[in-house]
Amino acid sequence: MILDSFYKGEKINSNTKYRFDITASTLDYSPLNQVLTNKRGFNSSGGMSLNCTPRPKKWSPKSADLALVKGKSNITSIKRPNIESNVGYGDIKDTNDACLIIFNPDFNENGIRSIEIFIAKGYKNDALSLYSLALDGDLKEEMEVLRKKAKQLSIT
């Protein structure tokens, strides 16, 4: 398998513009586990969350419009070569790992309501190729295996 880990974030609170609470995960990727675990606020008893925001203008070079962040920590910029597609890619900061990001299929019309993050350990330099494989459907089976393996997380 190319894909190793999975995290699903959903917009639970409609009053928050960018926040996504992690509702399912394989919980086996420590770089994200450490960053995403909440220390205070909503869903603070060990819950996990992230923010999907417009990419800060101070980051260079300009290669993406969106970013996954938590507090002041950048997780990844999201590159979307085809803006009509709900698939993007990036790499996890300070690792050699790539990630695929899948948004809800109707996000262009209805906004982002869910984000699925698939991690491919050691594939940082092949992230664009992984994106192509995902678009072609070649990773569909691996994605389903990880979705089924994921634990449902409670949101408090």
Are the C-beta atoms of residues 23 and 116 closer than 8 Å to each other?
no
For 59-95, the pLDDT digits (tens) are 655 677 899 999 888 999 999 998 889 999 999 999 9
**pLDDT band, residue 13 (cuts 50/70/90):** confident
Measured between alpha carbons, how far is 38 from 156 in angstroms, rounded to an integer? Answer: 12
What is the enclosing helix (H) or strand (E) of 77? strand 73-78
Total structural domains within the chain: 1
Are the C-beta atoms of residues 137 and 128 closer than 8 Å to each other?
no
Which residue range forms the structural domain that includes residue 118? 5-152
64, with CB counted inside 10 A (0-12, 13-18, 19+), is middle
pLDDT at 142: 97
pLDDT at 47: 84
Mean pLDDT of 29-56: 81
> For residue 34, what are its two tokens?
């450490």
